[in-house]
Amino acid sequence: MAKRGGFPGGAMPGNMNNLMKQAQRMQKQMEEKSKELEEKEWEATAGGGAVTVKVSGKKEVVSVKLSPEVVDPDDIEMLEDLIVAATNEALRKMEEENAAVMQQLTGGLGGLF
């Protein structure tokens, strides 16, 4: 006579508990890594080092350094372009590292967590 309800051999609830524990561990690790990454800073330059921009893991510009020779009152547009380029590169570096760290933690699970 077959058992009614439940899981054969009672194996599934134990596996589900293990899966939930693993998911909770992974979530905690992701939260810790996210916090670490928020405190980290990335730096990028443009114009051969004439402009240096530093950004935080919170996607905030921390600092902008300009070489005196890049400050030309007759060519403000070039300076603006260099600042934008350095900022975008620093943000790209930050996003790249964040994605790599999360990929490593999740083992390629994608958007599940």
pTM for the full predicted model:
0.70
Residue 99: pLDDT over 50: yes
pLDDT for res 113: 46
CA pair distance 109, 78, nearest whole angstrom: 43
pLDDT for res 34: 86
Q: Which two tokens stand for residue 34?
A: 């996210």
Using 50, 70 and 90 to split pLDDT, how confident is the model at 9? low
CA pair distance 87, 64, nearest whole angstrom: 9
pLDDT tens digit sequence for 60-88: 999 999 999 999 999 999 999 999 999 99
Query: What phi, psi does 46 have (nearest 5°)?
Result: -145, 160
